[in-house]
A and B are shown apart, each in its own frame.
Chain A
């Protein structure tokens, strides 16, 4: 009996169905969530026809509007602050032979990735409560600083990767051709670092936009972001309005993640800015 197919060394029984199941599991809930945001009825399980009504409702909901604006303000500020700090930190920590304190710096920068968010959230709740009592200030800065802190490692990673992949000779060539350190940074380093900076700031933006736990603990009264607003809503009867808000947030995140992917793909192929 002749074999119909060549022996495939890579095949493992059952792996392909399991993998496809994995993708199905990952996407099915999200797809259903998106689909039912367009449901004409109240239900999130019975399809009653297509409608934009939940989007309109969400759009007209003043609390949603306020939360959206707050989310965007915090994400934008935290992204700018975290990215600037990350660029400087990356410049100081890459392309150098280890220096005293390197382990400390590395651990500190990556700390938000290692420590459970709830612990940091509790710590900030206590710490900021002390400051709030001492100064009386209850504004947005607490949230912005807290978000900046946990966004730093996310901004740092792609920038650092980009810097490490960069040819040191290029900066030396710049210095050799009469460029002062600042001009070399501006004309040679930064243009090449740019995709990394952009990618890092987008990651930071997404991470800030999506945060629930730390925001929930740090926020003062009336400072709801979209995620904390939604968390509050989930205790009640859920209407597709939450689906609509979720879909909008999803769309922003997915767009940014795909942009990030394309940016990091462009890799060494830098174009003129």
Chain B
């Protein structure tokens, strides 16, 4: 049992926590109108670590603030455990937020900050004291209870902000880029800490970030956003291996884009003809076209470089050494560029030299046809 008296749910037991449908938000009106959210549809499950990922200005924070109640959507619906929360002000919603810059009350101590939400809910003093104690322990800040928030470090402030948001036992914890102000090492620590808290508390986490690596390592599921729309929702592996759109493929990791021609689609499997004229099986995209010109995405590490002719042929332009791996920049015969990433082996010799004619191969099903 976790500290909330809740047993973390197994993924398959998870019911719906938040249901958002047709949600839109337009700021301003007339010529100055700006659509921050455009027909958002998403279902977030219980005890899920759900991440909203996208570049700045994509609408992810607006969506988070809509859930918290600080943004009033123009249209659409938003329910938490089946209850319509849009008419509710922020203070009546069963969600708590960890703000980007923590927003700790500077005139209160660490303990007073953590107890604030419970105090506002008029919980008995004894209960507040006990819960604050538990929370301090949970985030390992018991020794700092009576410090002012200005007297503790950034990492400690982060913990207090977390504890403050968790103390009222919200159904959903909203995290608005909470790790962006921390340095690299602390960020790594807090990522692990957040995962631990999520599984221990059984609370649903909705996490906003622009850091793809953070999203991939922490999330159960990710929604990739751009220009106010959700482009794709899926597990980290799903999103990485099978991006549905060019933006997703480009935003997450490195990708080679190839102009290809779609020959046939059979369920998940698409057969495409590459610029070299050779055909290969790739993964089809839902709702994509059935034939004609398409874009094929191939991850650099999914391709291999050969001295012989491969699926694609070209000339090696540049070799960039990265320690763990090496990047080979190839100019294809068709004129476009292609990068192959090879894992480095200590005893392996030089594979090729700049100027060599090389072949590039990848396995069937590795390429992903994109929705255009």
Contact = CB atoms under 8 A, between A and B. Distances in A.
A192 B107 contact: yes
Interface string A166-206: 01011011111111100110011001100000000000000
Contact of B107 (A176, A178, A179, A273): A273
Nearest to A176: B97
Contacts of A188: 105
A174 B113 CA distance: 10
B101 A175 contact: no
A96 interface: no
A170 B164 CA distance: 13
A51 interface: no
A168 to B, nearest CB: 9
Contacts of B90: 172, 175-176
A270 interface: yes
A261 to B, nearest CB: 21
A99 to B, nearest CB: 14
Nearest to B112: A272
Contacts of B100: 169
Interface string B39-78: 0000000000000000000000000000011100000000
Contact of A269 (B99, B104, B120, B150): B150
A183 to B, nearest CB: 6
Interface in B109-136: 109, 116-117, 120-121
A270 B91 contact: no
A177 B101 contact: no
Nearest to B106: A270
A178 B117 contact: yes
A188 B108 CA distance: 9
Contact of A176 (B68, B101, B108, B150): B68
A271 B69 CA distance: 30
27 contacts: A169-B101, A169-B103, A172-B68, A172-B70, A172-B90, A172-B97, A172-B99, A173-B103, A174-B116, A174-B120, A175-B69, A175-B90, A177-B116, A177-B117, A177-B120, A177-B164, A177-B165, A177-B168, A178-B91, A178-B117, A178-B120, A180-B91, A183-B120, A184-B91, A188-B105, A192-B106, A270-B106
